[in-house]
């Protein structure tokens, strides 16, 4: 993709998310297989929610994660920069959804973020969205102010080492002295350089979306510099028995040794 400035990329990403929001909401519902097998179990463990805690759900999409948290008693503020996503989130008719404070807000806009309050939240989550953001440092800096001193921030990512724009999923078959076997893996030829690329999150979505690949050090070093420490980390792969996926080489249990997702927790130092 041609070089694109963060402001321009952010606006382009917002337009694409608005175009894809209705399709995304229909397919995501209250959580797809990536969420149910990979993202949410680790998020719940690392979040370790206590009764009546106040939680910020960053880039909440159609709000399924906000509803899960609200259902178990959290007081949730949830935001996304796509107004169509927020409309979809708010349209769900349930008691737990009525209790959520949904907002249209941009995670790259620190002044909007800081209007939410100072040292207000027990925890924040950002599920599978940092790689959709053109710039992540304004959010990290704001989080240090938004979270209580003993707060925590749990985020999930498509694993930048194994699941990025410079990899392919492969299957290899070999005949070793009459013994035929098939191996499933990934071939990666790029990781260190941050990139902006286009791709599909859910096959069939109306428009390709932007992905902002960052090697792990470019996610963690800003957090460390700003004043967070990493204190929880899980790499998530499908269990061997899971045979889902739209295409023969879709992520599934065939790749149970390769994690397409990671979930991490950081805390203010």
Residues within the interface to ligand SAM (CB under 6 A): 10, 13, 17, 28, 59-61, 65, 80-82, 85, 106-108, 127-129, 132-133, 201
Q: How far is the CB of 181 from ligand SAM (least distance, A)?
A: 35
Q: How far is the CB of 128 from ligand SAM (least distance, A)?
A: 4
The H-assigned helical ranges of the chain are 6-28, 33, 40-47, 64-71, 83-90, 95-98, 110-114, 137-146, 216-226
Q: How far is the CB of 52 from ligand SAM (least distance, A)?
A: 23
Q: How far is the CB of 158 from ligand SAM (least distance, A)?
A: 9
Instruction: Report the residue number, 117 or 199, with the smaller CB distance to ligand SAM.
Output: 199
Instruction: Report the residue number, 35 or 258, with the smaller CB distance to ligand SAM.
Output: 35
Question: In this chain, which residue has its C-beta nearest to ligand SAM?
Answer: 61
Residues 6+ apart with CB under 8 A from 192: 215
Instruction: Report the residue number, 155 or 228, with the smaller CB distance to ligand SAM.
Output: 155
Token output for 152 = 């925590």
- Closest residue by Cα to residue 25 from 79, 88, 80, 78: 88
Q: How far is the CB of 84 from ligand SAM (least distance, A)?
A: 9
Q: Calculate the CA dihedral of residues 164, 165, 171, 174 and round it to 10 degrees.
A: -100
Q: How far is the CB of 218 from ligand SAM (least distance, A)?
A: 17
Instruction: Report the residue number, 13 or 49, with the smaller CB distance to ligand SAM.
Output: 13
Instruction: Report the residue number, 108 or 196, with the smaller CB distance to ligand SAM.
Output: 108
State the sign of the Cα–Cα–Cα–Cα dihedral 225, 227, 233, 238.
negative
State the sign of the Cα–Cα–Cα–Cα dihedral 32, 37, 43, 49.
positive
The H-assigned helical ranges of 117-215 are 137-146
Instruction: Report the residue number, 153 or 184, with the smaller CB distance to ligand SAM.
Output: 153
């Amino acid at each position: 993709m041609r070089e694109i400035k963060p402001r321009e990329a952010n606006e382009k990403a917002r337009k694409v998310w608005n175009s894809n929001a209705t399709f995304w909401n229909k397919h995501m519902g209250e959580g797809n297989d990536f969420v149910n097998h990979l993202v949410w179990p680790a998020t719940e463990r690392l979040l370790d929610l206590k009764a009546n805690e106040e939680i910020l759900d960053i880039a909440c999409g159609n709000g399924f994660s906000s509803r899960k948290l609200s259902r178990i008693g959290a007081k949730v503020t949830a935001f996304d920069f796509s107004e169509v996503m927020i409309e979809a989130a708010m349209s769900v008719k349930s008691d737990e959804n009525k209790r959520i404070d949904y907002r249209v807000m941009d995670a790259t806009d620190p002044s909007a973020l800081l209007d939410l309050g100072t040292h207000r939240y027990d925890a924040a989550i950002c599920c599978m969205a940092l790689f959709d953001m053109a710039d992540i440092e304004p959010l990290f800096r704001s989080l240090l102010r938004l979270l209580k001193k003993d707060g925590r921030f749990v985020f999930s990512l498509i694993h930048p080492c194994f699941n990025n724009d410079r990899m392919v999923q492969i299957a290899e078959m070999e005949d070793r002295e009459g013994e035929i076997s098939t191996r499933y893996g990934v071939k990666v030829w790029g990781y260190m350089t941050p990139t902006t690329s286009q791709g599909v999150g859910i096959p069939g979505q109306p428009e390709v979306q932007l992905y902002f690949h960052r090697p792990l050090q470019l996610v963690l070093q800003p957090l460390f510099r700003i004043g967070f420490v990493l204190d929880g980390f899980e790499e998530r792969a499908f269990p061997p028995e899971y045979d889902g996926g739209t295409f023969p080489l879709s992520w599934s249990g065939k790749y149970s040794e390769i994690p397409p997702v990671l979930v991490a927790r950081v805390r203010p130092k």
